Structure 1
Amino acid sequence: MTASNGSAVPDFMRPVVADGPPASARVVAEHTFLALNESMKQLYETSLTTFTQNIHDQVPVVLALFNGAGGQMILYRPGQQPECAPPVPISYQIEKSVAHSTMAIYEILAPYLDDAYANQLWRAPLAMYRTQNQSALECLAALDVPDDTRATMHGVLEHNLAFMDACLSKGGYTYAELENYTRGTTPLSITLIGMASAVQVGHWMRVVENWRNELGADWERSYAATNTSHVARRNHILYTVLVQFMGAEAMGERLFLLETPEFETTPEKMLDVLGRIVADRSLGMVFFCDFYLMGDVELLGDGARTAIEREMAKRGREALLPPRVPFHCNDWPWATDPAKGTGPARLEDAVLGCPVRPVG
């Protein structure tokens, strides 16, 4: 086969060579202009690496990463290796494991509520989990935990075992029985959650306080960031601990809550996002005379607002738009106005209306 320029194209090249009419001038032009933005992205990434390194060379950075062990904190001092804080004491995970055990039983049984007596697929996993609960109960005395914590854990485990034994011996269960069981452990679960939180908070308060004292005046220039998934962003423990030592004025300026699709992320990803925020602030100042416009705000500009209003007017409806607020804000990064919400605002309030039978 001969190409349009007169040169022969070998047959083995046919699968990878365009076999159709040449692109129009319009398509070529579109690709040319789109290439400008692709090049900008590459140049931005290259510059961002330099910007991020410059930040590390000049100011301390604290990362507080969410994980199932109560979190991880890392201090990056200029010119030094990262310092990983000691982990939260293991008692936090132990207390949380027992507090979550009721939910695990619910997860086993809930899929078969329609006819648990006929569909026995729940039996094997429940029997296995019963063995694990029994082993935990037998090991309880060996744990290094306070007596009140041990007693609370004992109550949950005994309640778990009694309910699982009833299900296995009867060969089934009803929704009413499952609900009564879960509600019955609610007071103890709330107590355990509070105990675990006290261990977590006390640990991180000591860590951050020590870092603040060690850094001295440099603490006032430091940046800090923690990650969150959407479900955990409204009451974030690590962020709130950091606020205690950085102050409300640092929120949105040097302290950031970065929302991610996963519960856990990596320090590298966190540093990348932090670098983007700080670097884009200078860009915003150079281009738009506002330090916080580019790095901190997902901009709904007047052009977009006007377009939304116009499109909604075509549909005979009023546009719903957020109020215009300053780009720079030191407010909490979650809902803070009780008048704009409904229902309970505390875990304890959420269960007040639930019938809960006493647990010994």
Structure 2
Amino acid sequence: MTTRREFFGSATAVGAMTFPGAARTAPADAGSREPGRDPAARRLRARTAIFAVDTDTRRNYDALRAELIKRLGPVVVVENDYRGGRYTLVHHGEQESVHPVCDIFELAKSVAHAPLGIYSIIAPYLDHPSPDLPGSGRLDPHDLDMVAFKGPATLDWLGPLQAFGATLATARQQVCDARMPHALEASSTRILDASVAFVDESVRRRSFDTTSFESFTGALTADIGTNITYAAQAQIEGVATLMRRWRDQVGEADWPGLYVVVLSIWTTSAPNQNSIIVKRFMDPVKADSHLIDLATAQPPADPVLVALDNLARIVADNIAAETVFPLNRQLADALKGPEDLVAREILAQLACPFRDTAARPR
């Protein structure tokens, strides 16, 4: 049974997917038996014929989607990245791509990431924290065991930490020349000073522990908050300026139909900062249905194609839902939403194991 569309965040070409059941063939010796007298052969032939219905359906759906992609618009595709987002407008078959956010965003986040950079090096060598530490009760012991897979008994971290310390020291020496706003420069200076000090002390002692690391990071909470404030301000201003320009460019007649697809890794997808900003510039009546947050395992090689491929599924299913299921609101909503068509029935059967036992596979 064909169910609710799947999102292929790693797709690299439209219609290039292979589906289960698309290449089912009979065993090589099936033809050596008389089909009329061999129940197994008849069953295989019958099932293959039935599978062909879905195979053809998927092939025709792929063809529809490929043609629909060429006609989508206006669409804004947002690739969430370290620069605040790469924005692409697709309209009337043309594309324009822009990084609208100024360098202050990246500068503020780069410095704020310094403690995370240190963590990335020392994490495999962490010890189990004291239960007296503020966050110890929220740590999953199994997660900690998987992350701290080497433990504190080795000094393999020393070289990488020294190298990162040199990067931090170079940034600290030149922070005044970056011409950042005064408050951002001050908070960044304190973050870099503390980070360099932690690295130097850990290298000098040839050891560190969770207690000393949390003491270092905890003291930077306010300064990291300042950097986040400046990053957010820069992102809002840059994206807002671009969206206003594109709104004027697209025109009042077409803008209400705008779709926005935001691609990001799962850990930044709900809510994603770009989604929050762009929603303010969309038609409020359609924003909830026309703003698509698409989580990907990794940034795709062609984010615009991936976004349009998924959007083509959504748009096609919006029409299919109302025409294929005109009398069943529940099934129609499932087809054109994120819910799988079979999901509710699975929930019902799991809740009541004796429901519809006759339909279960044997």
Offset, 1:294: 2.4
Cα distance in 2 for partners of 1:136, 1:71 equals 24
The yes-or-no answer on 1:296 pairing with 2:337 is yes
Cα distance in 1 for partners of 2:152, 2:294 equals 47
What does 1:203-218 align with in structure 2 at a 5 Å threshold? 203-217=238-252, 218=254
SS in 1 for 2:208: coil
Offset, 1:34: 1.0
Structure 2 unmatched runs, 5+: 1-26, 34-39, 128-149, 357-362
Give the structure 1 partner of residue 265 of structure 2.
229
Cα distance in 2 for partners of 1:247, 1:237 equals 18
AA aligned to 2:311 is: L
Instruction: Label 1:283 to 1:104 Cα distance change in 2 as closer, same or farther (>3 A).
Output: same
SS in 1 for 2:292: strand
SS in 2 for 1:82: strand
Cα distance in 2 for partners of 1:106, 1:293 equals 42
Any conservation in 2 of the 1:65–1:264 contact (CA below 8 Å)? Answer: no
AA aligned to 1:296 is: G
Give the structure 2 partner of residue 309 of structure 1.
351
Q: Deviations over 1:151-198 (max 9, x none)?
A: 111111110111111111112122221111111222211211221121
Instruction: Label 1:293 to 1:165 Cα distance change in 2 as closer, same or farther (>3 A).
Output: closer
Give the structure 2 partner of residue 100 of structure 1.
113
SS in 2 for 1:64: strand
SS in 2 for 1:189: helix
Any conservation in 2 of the 1:64–1:227 contact (CA below 8 Å)? Answer: yes
Normalised to the residue count of structure 2, the TM-score between the two structures is 0.74
- The RMSD of aligned alpha carbons is 2.6
Give the structure 2 partner of residue 30 of structure 1.
47
1:277 alignment partner, one of 310, 314, 317: 314
What does 1:1-360 align with in structure 2 at a 5 Å threshold? 18=28, 24-55=41-72, 59-79=73-93, 81-114=94-127, 118-217=153-252, 218-263=254-299, 266-289=303-326, 292-298=333-339, 299-300=341-342, 303-311=345-353
Offset, 1:100: 0.6
Higher alpha-carbon deviation: 26-35 or 254-263: 254-263
Any conservation in 1 of the 2:89–2:96 contact (CA below 8 Å)? Answer: yes
Instruction: Label 1:35 to 1:69 Cα distance change in 2 as closer, same or farther (>3 A).
Output: same
Q: Deviations over 1:326-350 (max 9, x none)?
A: xxxxxxxxxxxxxxxxxxxxxxxxx
Offset, 1:74: 0.9
Offset, 1:139: 1.7
Any conservation in 2 of the 1:116–1:172 contact (CA below 8 Å)? Answer: no
Offset, 1:94: 1.9
SS in 1 for 2:78: strand
Normalised to the residue count of structure 1, the TM-score between the two structures is 0.74
Q: Percent identity between the aligned chains?
A: 24
Offset, 1:67: 1.5
Cα distance in 2 for partners of 1:71, 1:98 equals 18
Q: Deviations over 1:266-321 (max 9, x none)?
A: 1101001111111111111211126755222423576445423321889xxxxxxx
SS in 1 for 2:261: strand
Offset, 1:25: 1.7
Cα distance in 1 for partners of 2:112, 2:272 equals 19
Instruction: Label 1:264 to 1:205 Cα distance change in 2 as closer, same or farther (>3 A).
Output: farther
Per chain length, whose mean CA-contact separation is higher, i.e. which structure has more relative contact order (CA < 8 Å, sep 6+)? 2
Tell me which structure has the larger Cα radius of gyration.
Answer: 1
Instruction: Label 1:187 to 1:263 Cα distance change in 2 as closer, same or farther (>3 A).
Output: farther
User: Aligned residue pairs: how many?
Assistant: 294
SS in 1 for 2:57: helix
Cα distance in 1 for partners of 2:198, 2:238 equals 35
Any conservation in 1 of the 2:108–2:230 contact (CA below 8 Å)? Answer: yes
Give the structure 2 partner of residue 345 of structure 1.
none
Cα distance in 1 for partners of 2:188, 2:343 equals 54
Any conservation in 2 of the 1:60–1:223 contact (CA below 8 Å)? Answer: yes
